[in-house]
Structures are given as C-alpha cells and as structure tokens.
C-alpha cells in the first residue's frame, strides 16, 4: 500500500485503503462517501493499474463539463497520449488507455450501434468508473446508469463512486446480483468537517450545538417567527431594493471579516444571481488584498486578450472586484474563466444556482444557502435532504481548510429549527428511474433476442426494488392463505342438514334491502307497496326455514365469514399487484414493441430499415422524430419557393427542444414555409399521442416551436449574435443549448439518410446546409476558440 500512499499528497484514509484492497482482489466496488472525502484517489488507483498492465479504463461522468475537467486533469497527471475523451460534443484520442466520457456515451457503446461494434468499443477494457453514481436518482437520466451496469461485460470491474446515500447496501447487492461480486465501502467521515451557521438580521450564529441540537440562542426565533415574517414582508413591500442591498453585502462583508471567503452563494434563480451581484457592487475591491488584485488583473487580461466577447462582457467589472455569477444562462467561455479564477482563490464570492452543486468540482471555503425552499413545477417546495447535502458539501477544501462553513440565511418562511433539521438529516435513498423507451427497444432488438431482453429488464434496479416489495406482499399472502384455511370450515351442529352462512347472510341482506324499499314506498303511497310487502313475507319464511336460523353458533359463523371475505379481498389485491409488478418493465417493453410494430419500425420483433435508422436518432422520443421526418415533406415547394436550410433547421428545432417555460419572450418569428411544415408535424404528433394512449404508454410527445424563429434567424448568414440577443429575453446559454440540440439532431440525420432521403439533402448535400450546421456548431462552440460577432 506504500506506493499508493506515496502517489498522493496526503495519507490515504482507511476507507480508501479498504476500497483499493477490494479492487486488487478482483471484485467490483461501490464507494459511498461524502462530497470531498477523497473518492477520486480510488479512481486514480484503477487508472494507474490499467496503465501498468497495458489495459484500459473508462471514466464516466454525468456532465460534459465534468468530463472535460477530468480529461484535462488526467492529461496533466498521466500524459496527453494516454488520455482520450468522447462526449456528445467532442472526441479525441478515443483509443487511449484512459477514456473519459459521459455515461450516455458508454451506454450507447454497449448498444453496439452508431459507435461501432460492442467488441471493438470495449477492446482491452478492464475497469469502468461510474463517477457521481447517485445520479441514478435523476428522473430524466437516471436510467442510463442502470443500463450501463446491466449491460457491462462481466469481466469488467466496476467502481461506482457515489455521494452518501441511504440504501448503499441495496445498490451493492443489486450490482452483485446482475453483474459480479461487489463490495460496499462506506464512510460518513468528512476530512474537512462542516460547521453550520445561521445568519439573521443582526449577526452570524452557530446553528447547532456540539451534540447536533439547535443552538438555544436561536430558539427564541420560534416565538417571534410571525413577527419577523410580517416585518420582512413590510420591508420588501416598501423598498425591495433596500432589503436586498442591506442583506447580501452584509453577509459577504461578515464572511470576509471572519475569513470565510471564498464562498459560493446559492440563489435559486438566474435573476436572483444577477440582482445579488449588482447589490454587491458597493463592496468595491474590499474583498481582495493588493497582491490578489494584481494577480487577478493580470490573469483576466491574459484570458480576455484577443477575445472580444470576454473583453466586452458586462460582468467584467465585477470580476475585477472578485465577484461573479455562475448559472446555465452563461456561455461556456465565461463560465470557464470564472471556474479557473475561483479555483485559484481570486473570486471571493460566486452567486450560483443549485446546478453548480451537482456540477463540476468547484469547492469553496463556505457555502451560503439563501433559502430552504425553491420554486418547482407545482410551486415552492422545501429542499430535500439530498439537495441540501449537495450544496453544503461544496464547503471545505481538502488540504486548504480545517473546516467548511455552511451559512443558512434567515428567511420569512423557515425557522432555525427547520434549518437545523435539514442540517442533521440523513440522505435520501436511491430510487430507480429505469424507463424503457423507443431508443432502448430498437437498439436492444438489433443485438438481442426477446428472451435475452426480458432477462436484462428483469435485472434492473427498479425491478430489484419491486421484487423486494413483492416479497413482503408474498409473505403476507402466505399468512392470509393460512388464515383462510382455518376460517373456511364452519362448526355446524347438524351435519345431516348443514347450513351455509354465506347464503344465510345474502338472505339477510336481501330482507333488509326490501325492508328499506317498503319504508320509502309507504311514505310515497306507491301502488307497488303491496308487491314488496308480499316479497318481504316470502323472504322471511324462507329465512326462518334455513338451517342456520335456529343455530346458536350463527353469530360466530357470521364473524368468521366476514373475516374470510376481508382476507379474500386482500388476497385478490395482492395477487393482482404481484402479477402487474412481477415483470413490470418487461410489460412496458412489450407495449413499446407493439407501438413500434404499428409504425413499421419492427416486424416480428426485428427492426426494419426504418427502425434501424430511427435507433440512430438522438432525442427523448425518437419515434416522434422518425415519424415527422417520414411524413412531413421537407422538399415540397411552398409559396413558389422550396424550403430553405434555415427553415429546415427551424423545423427540426421543434422536435429537438422541449422548451416550455412560460415567460420566454422572442420577437423572432419563423417563415410561412415553416408554418406549413409545422401544421403537418402537429398532425403526426396527434396520431402518435392517440396510439400511445391506446397502449397505455406515457412518453413525451411534444413540439416546441417557441425558439424556431431564433434558430431560423441565426442560420442566416447576415445575422449577428448581438442582433439575436436583442430579440429575446433568453440568456446566451439558452440560445447555445437550443442551437446545440438542433445541431445534434441535424447531424444524427446523416445516419438516417437511407430512409429519410429528402432530409439528407438538407443535411449533407447543399452548401447552404453545411453553413447551417457550421453556424449551429459555432453558437455552442463559444468558448475560448470563438467570440460571437
């Protein structure tokens, strides 16, 4: 172990040594540890082992930005010739021993389509590192991690690195069941411990006592909470800007006085980040020493030299003060500059949305959490344990800080007691987000039989958790069946003339029903009254002659029969649930194959030419994309002119994007030709919605034309970037993502040219089309290589 210890700047912790020992023995490993605990050191061990033994290691991450960061880090440590990268945006040195990629790319390699054969993709692969494995919880993308584990060859050792999760043992057992023997290495120790503080309107106080209880000095807030809430509401109503300017700069100044900077200040909206930055303008250069100012000035000038976009950025003045914002609305080049300067300790406060908490490695000395709730799709919702832990985990830099500080800002909606509850809460468990979709079905059916696919789907973590729940029900079912055996034999005193308590009960129920009817008819003086009175007398005679009537045990039998009915009803529910859940994902898969067959993508569960081409498309609903491309005539002449490449890009953007934010505004409107194409796209969409509804399948079928005008305008040669920004309230980063997704889909159409021939004319043949692709490419390639103009 000495060699491993010497290769790191600090002595390995016991959990790191335990993980390395397990990996040396040939088993797979799940490491569950807090953010900043040192999980990367374990990954570096398998990298060094792969290099030493002339084998390969794939290092997967959930984000392209994180993949890029790891790529550069590994290049510096292990040499450029030994490290490659494959993401949706870039590919370099893909045959290298160390290959960094997004998890989606690895999953696609396992499908063995578009990226080459599985054998070729995984040649000499020994180790798979799944960084940020807790992303399995992500509702939209979590399924990728499950698929990657299920489909991985058994000879590949898996190293799954996860933040602390509640059910790490279950995850480990599942990987052992579906892949290979796997050990769990778990630690709750943070090398840099966290201290929690509460910032109210007067001062900064410790939130917790040494035994993790609420600070007694903060308990008074509980009694005055309503008064505080009304006071803050009145202040905001009369002078919102004053409320902000008093609060945020005071917090930053206090952190500076205590030596708590640099800090990440989490705000849950882009607008909030921008306002917080402006509020701190009055701090001037007070956060920086003279030496830091000189170094910061030098680095900013070096980074912005020759890049007009960076040099003219409207936040540049704040950057010189050591202040910045970080959110998805910024262009990659500006975010890269901020991240670089922050890592050097020269940016003292970054106002960031929570996406930074789950993104690249950018630890700080302190994190400030401005609110304990955030707006979601259905209004405001309190932060979950995992969301809070993810943000607070950014505090504390190993090797630099003795402690990390987490500051919770007082709000009108939450008491200090609630803050203390979150700070001491346990992490949430991993839940399965495994979701069969059209892409999965078409890709699997190209290389697997239906029986093999059924086996794969039954191996999912989702089915594993379902089976765990079913086992509880099945145990209960056994108890119910045993109970029913005891209840089905009734003690009848006259074996020669036995009664039947079920029949007797039904007689009783019928008598009561007729009796109620008689009561109603008497009040109405209805002529049918005599008929029901006669029926009532007949039922009473029959009831009194039944063997159970004189029996002294009938009340006991009644109770037993009632209990039997209750148990039978419960047993029926359990049987129905078990049948539905036993092969839950397989049943979903069969529904998808039915739909794909209806749309001629499958024949006898074998992908047709159309199905193979559809499988190569990129998007949430590739069947929708394939149907649009097959049924909308992009070569038809409208208004005397054929559809132009820019109009085609606008059309493609409708199915490439899923933009439904209600406050988006844009003055850019697409052409009349686009309107005609869009009408035919809507017809295709309505048909697919109907078919999915008939099969009971819920996969998003959405057309989003709101940005089509911007895309069309940007794809025209005369349009300048600045002109585009003036036509919308979207941030630059939003336009970049819209262009990138449109470009990704447009490029993937080249794979489908044999089926969608007329589409290929726009994508690969015309000079103007090549310009459109280049234009879209440049809009997202806005890093240090490109200044929009």
pLDDT in tens, 78-96: 999 999 998 866 788 989 9
Among the residue ranges 145-159, 553-567, 684-698, the one predicted with the least confidence is 553-567
The per-residue pLDDT for 564 is 86
Of residues 326 and 746, the one with the higher pLDDT is 326
User: Mean per-residue pLDDT for 265-277?
Assistant: 91
Question: What is the side-by-side strand order in the sheet with 323-326?
Answer: 204-206, 194-199, 404-409, 366-369, 263-266, 349-352, 323-326
The per-residue pLDDT for 668 is 87
Would strands 349-352 and 323-326 be described as parallel, antiparallel, or unpaired?
parallel
User: Mean per-residue pLDDT for 175-181?
Assistant: 94
Of residues 570 and 760, the one with the higher pLDDT is 570
The per-residue pLDDT for 157 is 96
- Cβ burial of 538 (10 Å; 0-12, 13-18, 19+) is exposed
Count other C-beta atoms under 10 Å from residue 292's C-beta.
16
The per-residue pLDDT for 353 is 87
Count other C-beta atoms under 10 Å from residue 116's C-beta.
13
User: Mean per-residue pLDDT for 401-412?
Assistant: 90
> What is the spatial distance between Cα 290 and Cα 309, in angstroms, rounded to a whole number?
27
Helix (H) or strand (E) holding 277: helix 270-279
C-beta of residue 308 within 8 angstroms of C-beta of residue 787: yes
User: Mean per-residue pLDDT for 395-420?
Assistant: 88
What is the residue whose two structure tokens read 């708590």? 260
User: Mean per-residue pLDDT for 178-202?
Assistant: 90
The per-residue pLDDT for 767 is 44
Count other C-beta atoms under 10 Å from residue 117's C-beta.
12
Two tokens at 184? 């769990």
Task: Look at residue 545 and tell me whether its pLDDT is greater than 80.
Answer: yes
The per-residue pLDDT for 586 is 94
Task: For residue 137, give Cα distances in angstroms to 167, 394, 432.
Answer: 12, 19, 7
The per-residue pLDDT for 732 is 82
Q: How confident is the model at residue 589 (pLDDT cuts 50, 70, 90)?
A: very high
User: Mean per-residue pLDDT for 3-20?
Assistant: 73
Residues with Cβ within 8 Å of 666's Cβ and at least 6 positions away in sequence, in order, are 706, 707, 709, 710, 727, 728, 729, 730
Task: Look at residue 118 and tell me whether its pLDDT is greater than 70.
Answer: no
Q: How confident is the model at residue 358 (pLDDT cuts 50, 70, 90)?
A: low
pLDDT tens per residue across span 446-469? 888 999 999 989 999 999 988 888
Say whether pTM exceeds 0.75: yes
User: Mean per-residue pLDDT for 662-690?
Assistant: 88
pLDDT tens per residue across span 726-748? 888 888 888 888 888 888 787 77
User: Mean per-residue pLDDT for 476-496?
Assistant: 76
> What is the spatial distance between Cα 557 and Cα 492, in angstroms, rounded to a whole number?
9
Task: Look at residue 55 and tell me whether its pLDDT is greater than 90.
Answer: yes
Two tokens at 101? 């990629």
The per-residue pLDDT for 772 is 60
What does the H/E/C string look like for 493-524?
CCCCCCCCHHHHHHHHHHHHHHHHHHHHHHHH
Task: Look at residue 771 and tell me whether its pLDDT is greater than 60.
Answer: no
Among the residue ranges 396-400, 437-441, 544-548, 698-702, the one predicted with the least confidence is 396-400
Task: Look at residue 755 and tell me whether its pLDDT is greater than 50.
Answer: no
The per-residue pLDDT for 636 is 60
Of residues 264 and 663, the one with the higher pLDDT is 264
Task: Look at residue 758 and tell me whether its pLDDT is greater than 80.
Answer: no
Task: Look at residue 76 and tell me whether its pLDDT is greater than 50.
Answer: yes
Task: Look at residue 333 and tell me whether its pLDDT is greater than 90.
Answer: no
The per-residue pLDDT for 238 is 52
Count other C-beta atoms under 10 Å from residue 700's C-beta.
11
């Amino acid at each position: 172990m000495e060699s491993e210890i010497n290769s790191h700047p600090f002595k390995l912790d016991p959990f790191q040594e335990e993980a390395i020992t397990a990996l040396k023995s040939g088993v797979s490993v799940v490491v569950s540890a807090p953010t900043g605990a040192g999980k990367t050191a374990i990954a570096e061990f398998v990298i060094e082992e792969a290099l030493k033994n002339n084998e390969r290691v794939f290092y997967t991450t959930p984000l392209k930005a994180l993949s890029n960061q790891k790529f550069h880090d590994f290049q510096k440590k292990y040499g450029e010739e030994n490290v490659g990268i494959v993401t949706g945006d870039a590919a370099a040195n893909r045959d290298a021993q160390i290959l960094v990629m997004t998890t989606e790319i690895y999953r696609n390699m396992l499908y063995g389509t578009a990226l080459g054969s599985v054998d070729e993709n995984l040649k000499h692969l020994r180790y798979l590192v799944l960084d940020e494995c807790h992303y399995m919880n992500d509702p939209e993308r979590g399924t990728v991690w499950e698929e990657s584990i299920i489909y991985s060859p058994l000879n590949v050792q898996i190293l799954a690195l996860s933040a602390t999760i509640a059910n790490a043992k279950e995850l480990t057992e599942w990987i052992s069941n579906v892949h290979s023997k796997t050990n769990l290495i778990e630690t709750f120790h943070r090398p840099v411990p966290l201290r929690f503080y509460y910032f109210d309107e007067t001062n900064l106080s410790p939130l917790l006592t040494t035994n993790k209880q609420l600070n007694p000095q903060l308990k008074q807030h509980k009694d005055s909470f309503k008064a505080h809430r009304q006071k803050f509401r009145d202040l905001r109503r009369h002078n919102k800007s004053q409320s902000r300017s008093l609060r945020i700069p005071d917090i930053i100044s206090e952190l500076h006085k205590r030596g708590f900077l640099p800090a990440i200040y989490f705000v849950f909206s882009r607008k909030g980040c921008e306002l917080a930055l402006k509020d701190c303008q009055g701090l001037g250069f007070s956060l920086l020493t003279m030496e830091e100012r000189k170094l910061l000035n030098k680095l900013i000038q070096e980074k912005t030299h020759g890049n007009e976009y960076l040099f003219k950025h409207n936040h540049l003045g704040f950057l010189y003060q050591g202040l910045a914002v970080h959110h998805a609305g910024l262009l990659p080049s500006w975010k890269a500059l901020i991240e670089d300067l922050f890592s050097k300790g020269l940016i003292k406060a970054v106002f960031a949305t929570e996406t930074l908490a789950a993104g690249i490695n950018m630890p700080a000395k302190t994190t400030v959490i401005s609110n304990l709730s955030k707006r979601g799709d259905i209004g405001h919702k309190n932060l979950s344990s995992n969301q809070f832990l993810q943000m607070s985990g950014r505090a504390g830099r190993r090797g630099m800080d003795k402690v990390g500080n987490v500051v919770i800002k007082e709000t009108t909606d939450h008491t200090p007691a609630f803050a203390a509850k979150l700070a001491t809460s346990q992490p949430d468990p991993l839940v399965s987000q495994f979701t069969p979709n059209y892409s999965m079905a078409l890709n699997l059916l190209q290389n697997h039989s239906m029986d093999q696919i059924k086996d794969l789907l039954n191996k999912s973590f989702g089915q594993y958790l379902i089976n765990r729940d079913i086992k509880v029900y099945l145990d209960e079912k056994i108890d119910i069946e045993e109970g029913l055996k005891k209840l089905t034999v009734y003690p009848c005193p006259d074996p020669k003339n036995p009664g039947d308590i079920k029949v007797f009960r039904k007689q009783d129920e019928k008598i009561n029903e007729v009796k109620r009817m008689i009561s109603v008819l008497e009040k109405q003086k209805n002529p049918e009254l005599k008929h029901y009175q006669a029926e009532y007398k007949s039922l009473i005679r029959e009831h009194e002659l039944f063997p159970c009537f004189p029996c002294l045990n009938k009340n006991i039998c009644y109770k037993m029969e009632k209990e039997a009915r209750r148990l039978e009803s419960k047993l029926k529910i359990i049987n129905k649930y078990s049948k539905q859940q036993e092969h839950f994902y397989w049943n979903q898969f069969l529904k998808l194959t039915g739909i794909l067959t209806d749309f001629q993508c499958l024949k006898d569960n074998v992908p047709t030419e159309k199905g193979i081409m559809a499988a190569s498309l990129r998007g949430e609903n590739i069947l929708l994309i394939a149907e649009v491309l097959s049924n909308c005539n992009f070569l038809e002449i409208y208004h005397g002119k054929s559809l132009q490449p820019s109009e085609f890009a606008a059309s493609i953007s409708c199915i490439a994007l899923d933009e439904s934010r209600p406050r988006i505004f844009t003055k850019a409107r697409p052409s009349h030709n686009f309107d005609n194409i869009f009408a035919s796209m809507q017809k295709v969409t309505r048909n697919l919605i109907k078919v999915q509804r008939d099969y009971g399948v819920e996969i998003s079928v959405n057309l989003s034309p709101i940005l089509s005008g911007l895309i069309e305008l940007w794809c025209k040669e005369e349009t300048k970037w600045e002109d585009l920004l003036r036509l919308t309230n979207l941030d630059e980063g939003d336009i970049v993502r819209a262009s990138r997704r449109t470009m990704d889909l447009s490029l993937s159409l080249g794979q489908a040219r044999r089926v969608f021939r007329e589409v290929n004319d726009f994508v690969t043949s015309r000079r103007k089309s090549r310009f459109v692709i280049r234009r879209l490419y440049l809009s997202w390639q806005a890093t240090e290589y490109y200044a929009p103009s």
